[in-house]
Structure 1
Amino acid sequence: MNKIIITTESCSDLTKEMIDKNNIYIIPMHIVFETETFADGTIPVQFIYDYFEKTKQVPKTSAVNPSEFTEFFEKITKENEGASIIHIGYSSECSCTYQNAVIGISERKNVNVHLIDSKNVSGGAANLTMLAVKLRNENPNATVVELTEKIKAYVPHIVTSFLPDHLEYLAAGGRVSNAAAIGATILRIKPRIDIIDGKLVATKKYRGSMERVAIKFAEDFLHSRELSREAIYIMYALGADENIIDKMKKYFEEKGFKHVVILHTGCVMSTHGGQGALGISAVENI
């Protein structure tokens, strides 16, 4: 069978080890400051936090553009003659990146690319990408069309939630009002953000320090669906307390998860969620 290559975007927040071990190709999104633009992954996350402290503004993030996708897929095809590509895209409800990928491969007869809208972000997209790798390895005789359909079947069953430590970054980025951010800070409220049909939706509020609410967040996540115990992903932004991450990891291990994968959010997701944000992703039993 022809070689099948899995690709995704940088905001899936996969580790370098996961990328290298599974031969996953990554195309970066962008971080846009006032006068400079950087590819995601080329600057440290701390740079964003330092910028916010100085300016009380967050940089903008921008999608991969169509020509970048064209160049990306053509380069992979040239380096892997006869290969097919399955691309796991950032949620089309949160960015124009997926649509840009559609444009980027249109009228390109020399590339064989199959696009999947993950309807997810960060560790949720990582979750689906690693499921794609697993399905590819388990089905060596599947055609690229068959494999694409197998992966797509998991899209509505990837469960992902986030918990910002505070709302300053969301307010600076215009995603919540300043009044709401100030009120949440005073009351020590942390909104849980769930990915629902590809959109980020605030569904529940927790009150207290992150140390106090993190395990409750994990418990609620675990009981929200019938989840496969094969793997669960914990995402965290720079500034999160490592002791909290360890406690969450131990909690999920005690609940029978075979693999608890820790992911550090990159520049794009850290810009949106801010310092200390947490996230969880798993897959429903299907």
Structure 2
Amino acid sequence: MRKIVLTTESGADLPEKLVHKFGIKVVPMHVIMDGKDYKDGSIPVTDIFDYYESTKKIPSTTSTNPNEYTELFQAVRAENPESMIVHVGYTSQASSSFQNALIAGEDFNDIYFVDTLNVTGGLGAVVLYAAELLQDHPTIGGEDLIAAIEQVVPKTKLAFLPGNLEYLRAGGRVTNAQYLGASLLKLKPMIELINGKLVSTKKYRGKMLKATTTLLHDYFKNYNIDRKQLYFIYSVGLEEEIKRELEKVAAEYDFHHIEWIEAGCVITCHSGPGAFGVAGIEI
């Protein structure tokens, strides 16, 4: 059987141990500070916080460009000349990365694309689903694999609470009016991916511990998530007490396989420090 190689963007926030375990190829997205371009993962996330504290500006983010995808696909083919490439991509509704991947893919044969309509742990959940399917069924054909991935895309649910609304406002995810209203009332908006777009669907009042645990209860009540695997996403700054409490809540719902995913630079530019998210795939 021909080898199938999975590719994705750094915006999936995949832990390095899982990237190496499954041989997933990851191409970086970008962070811009003071006009200088940094590849996602090339600088500590704390540099983003330091930049904001010193300038009161949020770094901007940019997509992976076509040339970078071309280099990625060429590297895959150099290592595995007869391989089939399946690119499991960052939502096309929030970035041009997926379109850029399609452009680069025009110069290659046997390369296929799946728009997950998701980001961070939601994107990561789909990529890892595909990786585990390949591991468990090494003889699976490319068409069957792609069909299986496309089937779980609408079943993949991501919800998160930003750690700092200023970051979301700077990224254009909330308006000034929404920001001021939420700040004055001490509200925390839950952000979900609806048809690939980031949408505020509910607001929680109170401190982060209360807000995150309430969000998690709501998430489990709204979605019948497969108990085999659950993904908790956090940005640097989320308190350990909150993490422990969230694991207790998950255990109440019979979730015992939890993978903690640290948000990288690109996602942190939108979520801010101390953010929390949850992702899983519905049965």
Q: Is the shorter-chain TM-score for this pair beyond 0.5, marking a shared fold?
A: yes
Query: What's the offset of the Cα at 1:16?
Result: 0.9
1:196 to 194, 197, 209: 194
What is the match of residue 51 of structure 1? 51
Following the alignment from structure 1 to structure 2, what is the Cα–Cα distance between the partners of residues 179 and 203?
16
Correspondence 1:88 to 2:98: no
Per-residue Cα deviation, 1:121-180 (whole angstroms, up to 9, x for no partner): 000011001100111122222211221111111100001101113311112233323343
* Unpaired stretches in structure 1, ≥5 consecutive residues: none
What is the match of residue 105 of structure 2? 105
Q: Aligned letter for 2:49?
A: Y
Report the secondary structure of 2:266's partner residue: helix
Q: Aligned letter for 2:198?
A: L
Q: Aligned letter for 1:61?
A: T
The alignment covers a number of residue pairs equal to 283
> With structure 2 as the length reference, what TM-score do the two structures score?
0.97
Q: Aligned letter for 1:54?
A: S
Query: What's the offset of the Cα at 1:83?
Result: 1.3
For 1:192-271, what aligned pairs fall within 5 Å after superposition?
192-271=190-269
Identity of aligned residues (%): 39
Following the alignment from structure 1 to structure 2, what is the Cα–Cα distance between the partners of residues 271 and 96?
17
2:173 and 2:198 in contact (8 A); partners too? no
CA RMSD of aligned residues (A): 1.2
What is the match of residue 71 of structure 1? 71
1:126 to 115, 119, 124: 124
Following the alignment from structure 2 to structure 1, what is the Cα–Cα distance between the partners of residues 150 and 8?
14
* Unpaired stretches in structure 2, ≥5 consecutive residues: none
Following the alignment from structure 2 to structure 1, what is the Cα–Cα distance between the partners of residues 119 and 171?
17
Per-residue Cα deviation, 1:216-251 (whole angstroms, up to 9, x for no partner): 110000001222111111101111112111211222
Per-residue Cα deviation, 1:92-133 (whole angstroms, up to 9, x for no partner): 111110011000011334xx2211101100000110011001
2:33 and 2:60 in contact (8 A); partners too? yes
Runs of 4+, deviation exceeding 6 Å: none
1:166 and 1:185 in contact (8 A); partners too? no
Following the alignment from structure 1 to structure 2, what is the Cα–Cα distance between the partners of residues 35 and 196?
32
